[in-house]
């Protein structure tokens, strides 16, 4: 008796292939693995492409910012150079003199003339006549007053000095000039006096 796969027909024996004897190859894991790897490759390619595009955009943004900063730097540098040229053309001595003049003007405006005249009236003797009153502010902010006037005699002039020493609104009187009556000076005893004035009283 032959095998199940043998067919006996007459004298000839025909063998059929026994498929059960050969191992069957399952290729599905290979296809699955290949698909997974392909998907991973696609994902990695997309990530790399996104990073490349992001890097390109960041680089372009940095380049634009750099150009903007260079433009601003050039503008600021031009302004600085223009300011330097303007400052170089300034006459600092004249500016300093103008500033002192302005300070003096402001200080003069702060002086209450009505109060100053009242204080002077208190110290000036009856036989002394003031011709001019010139207030001035020194570097420390103190008010200096230059008085020019005519007295009936030197005694009246000396009384004015003494009263300036004694009064609380004045201090440090310094005679500037004296001129006794003469043929060229018939008005009287001329004098000039510089004294420090304290509007609020001596400290």
Look at residue 163 in the predicted model and tell me its pLDDT.
92
Going across the sheet that includes 128-137, the strands are 128-137, 143-151, 189-197, 170-179
Residue with tokens 């420390």: 140
Q: 13-29 in b/e burial notation, b at 16+ Cβ within 10 A?
A: eeeeeeeeeeeeeeeee
Please state the pTM of the whole predicted model. Answer: 0.45
Who's near 12: CB < 8 A, 6+ residues apart?
Answer: none
**pLDDT band, very low/low/confident/very high, at 166 (cuts 50, 70, 90):** very high
CA dihedral 35, 37, 42, 45 (to 10 degrees): -170
Q: Which one-letter DSSP state was computed for residue 124?
A: S
pLDDT in tens, 54-89: 777 777 778 888 888 888 888 888 888 887 777 777
């Amino acid at each position: 008796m032959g095998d199940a796969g043998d067919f006996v027909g007459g004298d000839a024996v025909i063998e059929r292939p026994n498929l059960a004897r050969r191992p069957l190859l399952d290729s599905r894991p290979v296809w699955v693995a290949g698909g997974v790897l392909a998907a991973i490759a696609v994902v990695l390619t997309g990530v790399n492409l996104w990073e490349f595009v992001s890097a390109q955009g960041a680089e372009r943004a940095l380049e634009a910012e750099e150009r903007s900063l260079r433009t601003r730097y050039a503008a600021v540098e031009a302004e600085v150079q223009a300011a330097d040229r303007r400052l170089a053309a300034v006459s600092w001595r004249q500016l300093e003199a103008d500033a002192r003049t302005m300070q003096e003007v402001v200080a003069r405006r702060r002086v209450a003339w009505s109060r100053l005249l009242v204080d002077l009236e208190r110290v000036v003797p009856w036989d002394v006549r003031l011709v001019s009153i010139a207030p001035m502010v020194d570097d420390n902010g103190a008010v200096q007053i230059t008085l020019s006037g005519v007295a009936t005699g030197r005694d009246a002039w000396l009384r004015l000095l003494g009263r300036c020493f004694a009064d609380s609104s004045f201090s440090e009187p310094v005679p500037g000039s004296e001129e006794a009556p003469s043929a060229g000076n018939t008005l009287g005893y001329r004098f000039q006096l510089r004294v420090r004035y304290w509007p609020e009283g001596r400290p």
